[in-house]
Amino acid sequence: MKRAILILMALAFGIWSNAGGGEAIASRAAGKEATSEPLLFDTTRPPAEVTTPADGWSFRNHVIPVLTRLGCNSGACHGALAGKGGFKLTLRGYDPELDFNVLTRQTQGRRVNRNEPSRSLLLLKPTMTIGHGGGKRLDVGSLEYKVLSEWIAGGLTAPAESDARIVGLELSQRSLTLGTGAEAQLRVIARYSDNHREDVTRWVKYSTADAGVATVDDDGKIKVTGHGETAISLWYQSNVSFARVTNPWPREIRPEVFAASPRAGFIDDLVIARLQQLRIAPSDQSSDREFIRRAFLDATGTLPTPGEVAGFLADQSPQKRTKLIDSLLAREEYTDYWTNRFADTLLVSSRLLRDNAMWSFYNWIREGVRTNKPYDRMVREIVTANGNTLENGAANYYVLHKETTELNENFSMAFLGMSITCARCHNHPLEKWTQKQYYQMANLFARIGMKNGTRDGDVQVYSNPFGEVNHPRLGRPLPPAPLDGQTLAFDATIDRREHLANWLTSPSNPYFARSFVNRVWKNFMGRGLVEAVDDMRATNPASNEELLAALTKDFTDHGFDLRHLTRTIMNSAAYQRSATPNETNTQDERYYSRYIPRRLPAEALLDGISQVTGVPTEFAGQPPGTRAMQIPDAKLANYFLTVFGKPPRLITVESERTAEPSVAQALHTINGETLNQKLRSPGGLVDSFVRLGVSDEMAVHHLYLAALSRPPRPDEEARLLAAIRQSDSRRQAIEDIAWALLTSKEFLFNH
């Protein structure tokens, strides 16, 4: 009875959550053996009350965390590349063995004094007993002082292979809902490989994703500063986790508002649930004219024609949006659009490929998109590609990445949505990936062979039976293994890339499908559930984790089908909401209470101008009528596309494509040759209006439908018709109207 009362009290006060501690309590309540031992010690207690472990303080598990807490091994101090004052530690203690030697063997051992620990430089300098360039870092009598001095007095125990290793972090509270000004104390428990647990709250590195919502101090105390939601990230010995803090806006929204909001499936259920939690009312649904333009641009990168707009607006069928979506997914423009998106990620370019090889790679991608090849199969074919690059386009991926480290990093960015570049030199400071894991992953690519054929662009890609990548510090190779995946023996006969592909494309892989789903979601919704889409760190959680998990499961359950994923998102009420904000969601760009307007991609913008003016853009080396979205090569001399952010495809990073406004964009739009030449061009739309005697009313209506997918409002039409009739040059007046429409925000943005 006493045990049951204690358990109920713990649950009632929210002491434990599903972060791990709750599972231990639940197992005890069910009469099962607990999964972990009681706490070894508690860092939240006063130093004098903290009991020294029976086998002494561990250099790996106690001394290193203390040095990290004090900032001694940070990049700004002794963890810098060259160290400080002749004293160099590994960044955040990623190599305990090396740090132990530096502390105990260098400078004739003066940094530690076993006979008189208090006379050790390791204690004298950070306490400012003697001068220290880094200032005071340590108080005599503190827990950190106790750990360091007792470790020295206890004989300078070295790190050993037998040391218990941290296997995870438990949080006292994974999710907190608090009001402005409220405070809460996180408690963090480390679980170790020998099943013991230690309180490490005091030594964890904390950070907040949004200080405007909540701040966190060095001891894990949270203070709520504003409304919204943020993640509090935790980093401890290359283990990462986060807690979510929510502070709903102080307004009342009637439950009927959320109950009446349209829903088309699980996406809307999960979006509405989050909006209701935060007290954000969703915007109304978009109008038909808004929806058709949005759907065309997001799915195909093209504008609907005036005839398509008129036909859609006239259609009275309640299923017309669903039918439109299905028709868009069957168009060649859909294939062109997604081929271009894949080509960005896979870096298709003649900078490193011969023209024929570049076309081979591009055509291979395009055929996969056209036939709706499952995404897992498409990526598997890239990862395991062998053979002639002119016959197997996928093999060109390896020609683009001849350096193993470059391949390792771009591969992780493209297919896992995460950067592991930091781990090339040291343990990742923001993620759990270690330098050893980096080189184990890199070793999966160590046996890729290439030799030139008889023709330009003809490269034979094959698997070598030998080849390793050495860990730079250890001077030897490590057993190849995917990130968090199963290690492969050095003498295994399986192609290492097959092993990688099996891990990568498994439905149980926690990164692969999730990363791709997030990219596709951003394409349609304007912002990734995880933003940026190639920053899918554990400490950068999704704005709606439940939704991302549900979308990922649906995607894998349907065979990694891009068209299915696209159709699911586009049919949701969340996607079909208006971009017009209401009084509650003006600032919301995270929770999808409204559609997020964004500028058109460079290719869609140029193609749209060409379509509206009736004057195709000519591209060197391309057949007449080729659209910007159909160009395979990033190495293209086109000023407009460069200025408006077409990526050069040098590295796999989302920020290569930019939608940020610039002075060059404004000048080129206002006075550049691209738009003005198309408006003046013989045979163009304006020229045709004048030559064929099209009425002023018809000209204005056509331009509005072509550029904005809507007819002009009565006041707009009246002003423009008056301007044409008062102008000395009818042609110039129509050109000016077309120019004004094509430089307006309404045209430049998808909304």
Mean predicted lDDT score pLDDT of the chain: 90
Q: Mark which of 469, 504, 539 sits at the end of a domain.
A: 504
| Both tokens assigned to 599 | 């500028």
For residues 257 and 253, what is the distance between their CA atoms, to the nearest angstrom?
7
Question: Are 236 and 200 in contact, with CB atoms under 8 Å apart?
Answer: yes
Do 618 and 728 fall within a single domain? yes
Per the domain annotation, does 626 fall within a domain? Answer: yes
**pLDDT given at position 38:** 63
Do 177 and 313 fall within a single domain? no
User: Could you report the per-residue pLDDT of 155-212, keeping only the tens digit for each?
Assistant: 999 999 999 999 999 998 899 999 999 999 999 999 999 999 999 999 999 999 999 9
Question: Are 233 and 539 in contact, with CB atoms under 8 Å apart?
Answer: yes
Do 736 and 696 fall within a single domain? yes
Largest CA distance in the chain: 103
Q: Are strands 188-192 and 166-171 parallel, antiparallel or unpaired?
A: antiparallel
User: Could you report the per-residue pLDDT of 317-357, keeping only the tens digit for each?
Assistant: 999 999 999 999 999 999 999 999 999 999 999 999 999 99
Do 630 and 699 fall within a single domain? yes
Token pair 């925000």 in the structure block, residue:
745
**pLDDT given at position 82:** 83
Per the domain annotation, does 537 fall within a domain? Answer: yes
Q: Are strands 239-247 and 175-177 parallel, antiparallel or unpaired?
A: parallel
Do 678 and 735 fall within a single domain? yes
Instruction: Fill in the amino acid letter for 495.
Output: D
**pLDDT given at position 43:** 83
Per the domain annotation, does 350 fall within a domain? Answer: no
**pLDDT given at position 393:** 97
Instruction: Fill in the amino acid letter for 8.
Output: L
Do 590 and 607 fall within a single domain? no
Do 94 and 127 fall within a single domain? yes
Given CA atoms 90, 92, 98, 100 in this order, what sign does their dihedral have? Answer: positive
For residues 700 and 717, what is the distance between their CA atoms, to the nearest angstrom?
7
For residues 65 and 255, what is the distance between their CA atoms, to the nearest angstrom?
48
Instruction: Fill in the amino acid letter for 751.
Output: H
Do 557 and 644 fall within a single domain? no
Dihedral angle computed from the Cα positions of residues 623, 629, 633 and 635, in that order, rounded to the nearest 10 degrees: 100
Do 325 and 449 fall within a single domain? no
Do 582 and 690 fall within a single domain? no
- pLDDT above 70 for 10: no
Per the domain annotation, does 269 fall within a domain? Answer: no
Question: Are 742 and 706 in contact, with CB atoms under 8 Å apart?
Answer: no
Per the domain annotation, does 101 fall within a domain? Answer: yes
**pLDDT given at position 80:** 82
Instruction: DSSP for 232-292, please give it.
Output: EEEEETTEEEEEEEEE--S----HHHHHTS---SHHHHHHHHHHHHHT-PPPPBPPHHHHH
Do 642 and 745 fall within a single domain? yes
Do 744 and 608 fall within a single domain? yes
Question: Are 39 and 200 in contact, with CB atoms under 8 Å apart?
Answer: no
Q: Give me the CATH number covering residue 209.
A: 2.60.40.1080
How many domains is the chain partitioned into structurally? 6
User: Could you report the per-residue pLDDT of 271-325, keeping only the tens digit for each?
Assistant: 999 999 999 999 999 999 999 999 999 999 999 999 999 999 999 999 999 999 9
Per the domain annotation, does 530 fall within a domain? Answer: yes
**What is the span of the domain harbouring residue 389?**
374-504
For residues 556 and 547, what is the distance between their CA atoms, to the nearest angstrom?
14
